[in-house]
Homo-oligomer: A and B are copies of this chain.
């Protein structure tokens, strides 16, 4: 079993904001991340797939195929977007780094399976100091 990882990047706006709370309550919990007029990040996304290398190609999965899949299913929908307003698969979800890893896992797991791969981990950097990882359970 070998684990291969593809890094992709996207830039997006968001705010951490619970609509059921007042602006002050949001400020007290989320700090400056609750700024009503948004802020944003350069996200780094690491998608890890596991499997046995194919004898003909040496590949667990063709990373060029994986890259196109991430582009089609994820990046085309969230790059240069507003994560609170523009992304169907994030509607009604607070776009914390944690929730983003779970949501991206859910969007990719079956698509990767169709290509013969097995998703192992979604890792997402919000900044160089903060990141989250999700392994599907």
Q: Give the interface of A toward B (CB within 8 A).
A: 1-9, 11-14, 16, 18, 20, 29-33, 35, 37-42, 53, 56-60, 62-64, 79-82, 85-86, 93-99, 101-102, 127-135, 137
Contacts and interface: CB of A to CB of B under 8 A. Distances in A.
Given A9-B127, A40-B11, A81-B35, A99 B132 contact: no
Contacts of A63: 130
Nearest to A97: B4
- Copies assembled: 6
B7 A128 contact: yes
A127 B42 contact: yes
Contact of A80 (B4, B35, B128): B35
Contacts of A4: 97-98, 130-133
25 contacts: A2-B101, A2-B132, A2-B133, A3-B132, A3-B133, A3-B134, A3-B135, A4-B98, A5-B130, A5-B132, A8-B129, A11-B127, A12-B39, A12-B40, A13-B38, A29-B62, A35-B80, A35-B81, A38-B38, A38-B82, A39-B79, A42-B127, A53-B102, A58-B98, A60-B132
